[in-house]
Copies of this chain bind each other. A is one copy, B any other.
Amino acid sequence: MSTARYSYLGPEGTFSEEALRTLPEAADAALLPARTVPEALDAVRTGDADAALVPLENSVGGSVPVTVDDLVAGGPLQIRREVVLPIRFVFATRDGRGTDAVRTVAAHPQASAQCRHWLRDTVPAATVTDVLSNATAAIRCAEGEYDGALSTPLAARRHGLTVLAEGVADHADAMTRFVLLSRPAPAPPPTGNDVTTIAVFIAHDRVGALLAVLTELAVRGVNLSRIESRPTGEALGRYCFLLDCTGHVADARMGEALAGLRRICRDVRYFGSYPRAGAEPPVPPPAGMSDADFTEAQSWLARVRAGDADPPTG
């Protein structure tokens, strides 16, 4: 059997690499850093990689637009797992200089957004420049282009920087959620604590269209753990919504809800069902919404349609 290949948002030393290395299946795999999220995902689409690990959202910076947009607009991919990683930046400098000698800082925009107040307090005079990744920040600092860098512990160490501060963050508990994406395939089996991710495109000229979408879910007892709007690019005011629904595509209630959305929306795209990461306990389906409830109701309906007598049960 050939070695599995995983692409990830590189370069080496990113939080994406760190997240990927938490997966047991990645231990013996070839890890392929990609320059950008679209390149990491295209490697899967073309078959150069079996799966790709990229960031999807951060608890402080929010959604990672490039991931969402590529997922929504690109060729079909499916989420196989999610990895949630605490994000603890290091602030590191070249040649052992202290903070008062720092005039320029390299940082990924999500990093500087999450450390804005820390930077303002610690290196108030420094100019912060956006770079493409947390690892790039360390590299370009090591190359002498910037005095300091917000980066990952891994990248700072690899590139010989001096770490002045660890665990840098405005919010102590910042987390990033990464997803592992593959080409379309049947979902992993339900675990009882799953997420189903979809995008819905609503008719922009219909009042109450979003209310209708939420009602389709609520009526089947499907809860949302996340809703995000993204422009479709057609015009201001045209959005699609990326939804994380609690449950698995194999669940009866989820299937009926998805089919309901399919009927009322302009388009629905399915991005996979996969186990929820983290310690939150599973939420059982509401009363009347278990698979057994659906089966019972369906068999009652079959009896009713067959004309069988159905004595009161109340």
> Which residues of A are interface residues toward B (Cβ below 8 A)?
38, 57-62, 65-66, 69, 73, 75-76, 78, 84, 109, 113, 116, 129-132, 170-171, 173-175, 177, 183-187, 201, 207-208, 210-211, 214-216, 218-219, 223-239, 249-250, 255-256, 258-260, 262-264, 266-267, 269-270, 287-289, 293-294, 296-298, 300-301, 304-314
A84 and chain B: residue at smallest CB distance: B236
Distance of A167 from chain B, by nearest CB (Å): 16
Q: Which B-chain residue is minimally distant from A304 (CB atoms)?
A: B270
- Do B235 and A175 have beta carbons less than 8 Å apart? yes
Choose among B226, B256, B309 the residue that contacts A184 (Cβ–Cβ < 8 A): B309
The one of B116, B218, B300 that contacts A211, using a Cβ cutoff of 8 Å: B218
Q: Which residues does chain B contribute within 8 Å of A308, judged by CB atoms?
A: 184
A-B contact pairs, 12 of them (CB 8 A): A57-B236, A58-B231, A59-B234, A174-B233, A183-B309, A186-B307, A211-B215, A226-B239, A255-B305, A256-B256, A262-B300, A263-B294
Q: Which 5 A-B pairs have the closest CB atoms?
A: A267-B314, A263-B288, A186-B307, A259-B297, A262-B297
Please give the distance in Å from A307's CB to the nearest CB on chain B. Answer: 4
CB nearest neighbor in B for A311: B76
Min CB distance A36 to B, Å, is 9
How many copies of this chain does the complex contain?
4
Residues of B within 8 A of A186 (CB): 305-307
Known contacts A76-B311, A262-B297; 7 further A-B pairs (Cβ under 8 A) = A59-B231, A61-B65, A62-B65, A78-B307, A130-B132, A227-B229, A232-B314
The residue that A62 contacts in the complex, of B61, B231, B259, B287, with Cβ under 8 A, is B231
Q: Are B219 and A260 in contact (CB-based, < 8 A)?
A: yes
Nearest CB of B to A276, in Å: 11
> Which residues of B lie under 8 Å from residue A75 when comparing CB positions?
309, 311
Known: A236-B84, A314-B267. A304 touches B260 (CB 8 A): no
With a CB–CB cut-off of 8 A, which chain B residues contact A60? 231, 233
Q: Are B185 and A235 in touch, CB under 8 angstroms?
A: no
CB of B235 within 8 A of CB of A59, answer yes
In the complex, the chain B residue whose C-beta lies closest to that of A237 is B225
